[in-house]
Structure 1
Amino acid sequence: MTTHRRTSAPTGARSARAARAVRQVGPEYPLTRVYRTSPYQLTVADVAARSGLPPDLVRRYVALGLVDADRDAGGRLWFRAGAPSAIARVQRLRAGLCLNYAAVGVVLDLLDRIDRLETALRRTERAAKEPTTWT
């Protein structure tokens, strides 16, 4: 089986980087195309424009660990679609509570942990309310 990898040509320039077409040739794959989309689709410029911040501040948030990003082979940063809302959350915490960046990181970790615990609690409450049926 031979696999040829090439970049597809979707409508936008950002989509062209994110979506990849894999053409698989062989007896079990007669000219089949599989499209893979990366969850990391936004560049630093995209996130900066959507959040209204300079790109250097976005890079600083990544360096401090306040926003998740991935680096490709060329060293460029790629963000998920939720990065602008995560940046807005960091800004609200920093401005509303007058916290430094280290404290914002701790508060974000605590908020994420509280969210996970509440989700687990809801699941156990829901499981306790469901009647068990024995057949």
Structure 2
Amino acid sequence: MPERGRYMISVAADLAGLHPQTLRMYETRGLVRPARTPGGTRLYSEHDVDRLRLIQRLTSELGLNLAGVEHVLRLEDELRRLQARMRQLERQLRDEIQMTHKQYRREVVVYERPKPPAPRS
């Protein structure tokens, strides 16, 4: 479930250390996707603000251009999707292993070696 937007553009810009126009440009480029109110006001979530801070760090501290930022963000998004998929597959595998172990318990029969016949006298 996506996080709800809570910050208007001016607050989100202040939190990220950016100009509101920069946030609009980032949205146009698809780097961030804030929620919208029915009236069209942008609402940025904590995740959006964190993403804006990451973009700011990638461009100012590491010197990436926006094409590089897009690539990094795309890779991070893909990594998150793959990690979620891996957790889902691990849960499925654990469930299947548990089911298999339960079946073993029902199917396992203790074998008792037959007693040798009594000697004839």
Identify the TM-score tier after normalising by the shorter chain: 0.5 to 0.7
Q: Give unpaired runs (5+ residues) of structure 2.
A: 107-121
Q: Does 1:68 align with 2:33?
A: yes
Which residue pairs with 2:93 in the alignment? 128
- Cα distance per residue 1:32-75 (max 9 Å; x no partner): xxxxxx92321111101212222222222222211112344544
SS at match of 2:46: coil
Q: How does 1:3-42 map to 2 (within 5 A)?
A: 39-42=4-7
Aligned pairs, how many? 98
Bigger strand fraction: 1
Tell me what 2:74 maps to: 109
Give TM-score, length-normalised by structure 2. 0.65
After TM superposition, the structure 1 = structure 2 runs for residues 84-103 of structure 1, keeping only pairs within 5 Å, are 84-103=49-68
Tell me how far 1:117 sits from its aligned partner. 0.8
Higher share of residues assigned helix: 2
Higher RCO structure (Cα 8 Å, ≥6 apart): 2
Q: 2 CA distance for matches of 1:73 and 1:128?
A: 43
TM-score, reference length from structure 1: 0.59
